[in-house]
Structure 1
Amino acid sequence: MWQQALIVSVIVTGSVSAWKMTVSPVVTVSRGEDAILNCSFTHKQKNYSGNITVKWLARDPYTEPFFQCSVKNDSMEGGNDCSGSGLKFSLDGDPRRGQLSLLIRKVQLTDNGTFFCRVELEGRSDYLKRKIDLYVAVKPQIQSLSVVEMACGSDSITRSLRCDVEGHPLPKVVWLSVTRRLLDVKHHTSETSPYSLTTCIPYQQEEEVVSCRAESRLGEAERTYPTTNVLMISLAVCGVIVLLLVLLSTGLTIYCLKARNPPPQDSEPPADQELQMVYSVLSFSRGNLVQQSEEPGVIYSTSVHH
Structure 2
Amino acid sequence: MQIQCYALILSMIITGSLSTSLDMAVSPVVHAPRGEDAVLSCSFTHPKQQDYSGSITVKWLAREKTAEPFFRCSVRNDSRERLSDCSTPSGLQYSLDGDPRRGALSLRIRALQLINNGTYYCRVELDQTGESLQKEIQLYVTAEAQILSLSVVETSGPDGPARILQCEAEGHPLPSVTWLSGSSGPLDARAPTAGPGPYRLTGSVPYLEEDVFTCRAENRLGGAERRYPPSNTLWITLTAGGVLLLLLLLSGFTCYCLRRRGVCC
Aligned to 2:205: 201
The correspondence for 1:171, drawn from 168, 172, 175, is 175
Identity among equivalent positions (%) equals 52
Match of 2:220 among 213, 217, 222: 217
Residue of structure 1 equivalent to 2:42: 39
Q: Under a length normalisation based on structure 2, what TM-score does the superposition of the two structures give?
A: 0.82
Output aligned runs, 1:10-49, within 5 Å. 14-15=17-18, 18-45=21-48, 46-49=50-53
Change in Cα spacing, 1:13 to 1:120, as seen in structure 2 (3 Å) is farther
Contact persistence 1:116–1:131 (CA under 8 A): yes
Aligned partner (choices 64, 74, 77) of residue 68 of structure 2: 64
4+ residue runs of structure 1 moved beyond 4 angstroms? 153-157, 244-256
> In structure 2, do the counterparts of structure 1 residues 237 and 17 end up closer, same or farther at CA, with 3 Å as the change threshold?
closer
The residue identity in structure 2 corresponding to 1:209 is V
Decide whether the 8 Å contact of 1:13 with 1:19 is kept in 2: no
Report what 1:119 is aligned to.
124
Once residues 221 and 180 of structure 1 are traced to their aligned partners in structure 2, the CA distance between those partners, rounded to angstroms, is 21
Question: Aligned-pair distance for 1:130?
Answer: 0.8
SS at match of 1:93: coil
Bigger helix share: 2
Deviation at 1:95? 0.1
Q: Which runs of 5+ in 2 are unaligned?
A: 1-14
8 Å Cα contact 1:188-1:201 kept in structure 2: no
Q: Is the aligned partner of 1:90 residue 2:95?
A: yes
Could you say which structure has the greater relative contact order, defined with CA pairs below 8 angstroms and 6 or more residues apart?
2
CA contact (8 A) 1:139 1:220 kept: yes
1:117 maps to amino acid: C
Partner residue of 2:12?
A: none
Find the counterpart in structure 2 of residue 238 from structure 1: 241
Per the normalisation by structure 1, the TM-score is 0.71
- C-alpha deviation, 1:157, in angstroms: 6.0
- CA change 1:24–1:50 in 2 (3 A) is same
2:104 to 95, 99, 103: 99
Q: 1:16 to 1:116 in 2, by over 3 A?
A: closer
Please tell me whether the aligned partners of residues 187 and 202 of structure 1 are also in contact (alpha carbons under 8 angstroms). no
Relative to structure 1, the CA distance from residue 179 to residue 149 in structure 2 (aligned partners, 3 Å threshold; closer, same or farther) is closer
The Cα offsets for residues 242-275 of structure 1, whole Å up to 9 and x where unpaired, read as 444555667788999x79xxxxxxxxxxxxxxxx
Corresponding residue for residue 9 of structure 2: none
Structure 1 residues 180 and 115: CA distance shift in structure 2, 3 A: farther
How far, CA to CA, are the matches of 2:135 and 2:234 in structure 1? 56
1:296 corresponding residue in structure 2: none
> Which AA in structure 2 matches 1:99?
A
The higher radius of gyration belongs to 1
3-state DSSP of counterpart to 2:22: strand
The offset of 1:13, in angstroms, is 5.5
Instruction: Please say which of residues 234-243 and 25-34 is displaced more in the overlay.
Output: 234-243
Q: What residue identity is the alignment partner of 1:74?
A: D
Q: Of residues 137, 142, 153 in structure 1, which corresponds to 2:147? A: 142
Shift of 1:168: 1.3
Distance 1:129 1:215, change over 3 A: same
**Contact preservation (8 Å) 1:189, 1:199:** yes
Q: In 2 relative to 1, CA 68–179 (structure 1 residues): closer, same or farther, beyond 3 Å?
A: same
Task: Output one character per residue of 1:140-169: Cα deviation in whole Å (capped at 9) or x when no partner.
Answer: 111111111115x88866111011111111
Query: Deviations 1:161-189 (Å, cap 9, x if unpaired)?
Result: 01111111111000012269312x34242
CA contact 1:22–1:41 (8 Å) conserved in 2: yes
How many pairs align? 243
